């Protein structure tokens, strides 16, 4: 029996064992397999390991998507974690190449994936509170939100959860250095049913604004002079 003689359910099951590139390559072999590749039921789960993967055309976004993970563990993540005003020209150029990649992708998710149940972001240093707020509004069924090493996430995301995370059951904000203890306490009080984890977040050194930093440096100089 030729593979194309299998019924739709069997083909979908076979495709489910393949990675995104393999699915795309197989779909190019004949119209029958292309139809299977384009079936929304095949794309209920998506995992990405770098921002570059988000720009490829080897996957589909749609209402069937329920589980999404974007986890970037490369050493280059450290560059994105540096405060913008402290980056040199090389570091700024590197970040400019992908600064909006994850945010733009999540905007597509907001517009096309209203049934999303779980989102995991790790090492996504350019994702902002505004992006997470829009996602919570657009995906009311979201039950699990895991954020790790996302340095631009602040207490405003925690506030957004209290306002728009009615279905949220699990929230992780690990190693998000601009999350504060006060913000975590407020969330615990307003959403006691949410399983909250914030490993190291409130104990890390948060970013400080350039003007405040300069003020502290001037004050230190004055103390030394005295």
For residue 46, give the 3-state DSSP assignment: strand
Distance of alpha carbon 55 from alpha carbon 21, whole angstroms: 13
What is the spatial distance between Cα 205 and Cα 217, in angstroms, rounded to a whole number? 17
Q: What is the pTM of this model?
A: 0.86
Q: What gap in Å lies between CA 101 and CA 103, rounded to an integer?
A: 6
pLDDT per residue of the chain (226 residues) written in tens, 0 to 9: 688 889 999 999 999 999 999 999 999 999 999 999 999 999 999 999 999 999 999 999 999 999 999 999 877 778 887 787 788 887 888 788 888 999 999 999 999 999 999 999 999 999 999 999 999 999 999 999 999 999 999 999 999 999 999 999 999 999 999 999 999 999 999 999 999 999 988 888 787 766 655 545 544 554 444 4
Strand partners, 71: 122
Residue with tokens 């992780």: 172
Report d(CA 18, CA 217) in Å as an integer: 56
3-38: per-residue pLDDT in tens? 888 999 999 999 999 999 999 999 999 999 999 999
């Amino acid at each position: 029996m030729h593979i194309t003689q299998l019924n739709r359910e069997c083909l979908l099951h076979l495709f489910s064992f393949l990675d995104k590139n393999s699915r795309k390559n197989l779909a190019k072999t004949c119209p029958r397999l292309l139809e299977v590749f384009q079936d929304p039921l095949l794309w209920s789960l998506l995992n990405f390991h770098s921002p570059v993967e988000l720009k490829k055309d080897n996957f589909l976004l749609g209402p069937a998507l329920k589980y999404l993970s974007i986890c970037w563990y490369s050493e280059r993540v450290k560059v994105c974690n540096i405060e913008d005003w402290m980056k040199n020209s090389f570091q700024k150029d590197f970040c400019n190449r992908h600064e909006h990649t994850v945010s733009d992708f999540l905007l597509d998710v907001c517009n096309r994936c209203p049934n999303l149940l779980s989102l995991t972001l790790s090492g996504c240093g350019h994702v902002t509170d505004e992006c997470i707020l829009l996602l919570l509004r657009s995906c009311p069924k979201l039950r699990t939100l895991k954020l790790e090493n996302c340095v631009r996430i602040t207490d405003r995301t925690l506030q957004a959860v209290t306002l728009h995370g009615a279905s949220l059951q699990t929230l992780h904000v690990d190693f998000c250095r601009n999350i504060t203890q006060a913000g975590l306490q407020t969330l615990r009080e307003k959403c006691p049913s949410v399983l909250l984890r914030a490993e190291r977040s409130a104990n890390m050194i948060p970013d400080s604004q350039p003007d405040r930093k300069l003020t502290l440096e001037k004050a230190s100089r004055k103390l030394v002079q005295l």
